[in-house]
Amino acid sequence: MAQITFKQNPVTLLGKEVTVGDTAPNFTVLANDLSPVTLENSKGKTRLISVVPSLDTGTCDAQTRKFNESAAELGEDVVILTISNDLPFAQKRWCAAAGIDSVQTLSDHRDLSFGEAYGVAIKELRLLARAIFVVDSNDKVTYVEYVSEATEHPDYEQAIAAVKAAQK
């Protein structure tokens, strides 16, 4: 299992670690209008799944803005999902204030379906660990980054390159 720290303190991740080559696990999270969203909702597209502890923090804010800006260069066959345990209402408010319009924010607060399926649920905090997953149009995981310190940034360039490679 991936070794993660949060503010330099080791944390316990719940669920199964996902690796490159795996079939992407399905999950059920909530959209900002409380409707359920699963991996199946974006079937046939390349998915960049950006996982953040909370949109209301500097690093998570920057990560979501970065992928929102990158959306235009990635094209219409790519769906960018940002998943956190923030309440759907808070996500909607944050997106409106931040001008986020190319990333779909989704909440895993209800039952940690995503967090446990992808091995990013932090037991001690009931937050999600920072991670990036790229899933191709055939539901195969082509890129994984579990960020070892949850307060640090992921490798944005590698994630974008992985999305582009998954489209070929």
Query: Hey, which residues are catalytic here?
Result: 60
Positive or negative torsion for Cα 139, 145, 148, 150: negative
Tokens representing 69 are 């800006």
What's the full length of the chain, in residues?
168
> At 68, which helix (H) or strand (E)?
helix 58-74
Q: Can you tell me the distance from the alpha carbon of 54 to that of 66, in angstroms, rounded to the nearest whole number?
A: 15
CA 7 to CA 48: how far, in whole Å?
Answer: 25
**Cα–Cα distance list, 122 to 2, 69, 98, 126, 159 (Å):** 12, 28, 26, 5, 22
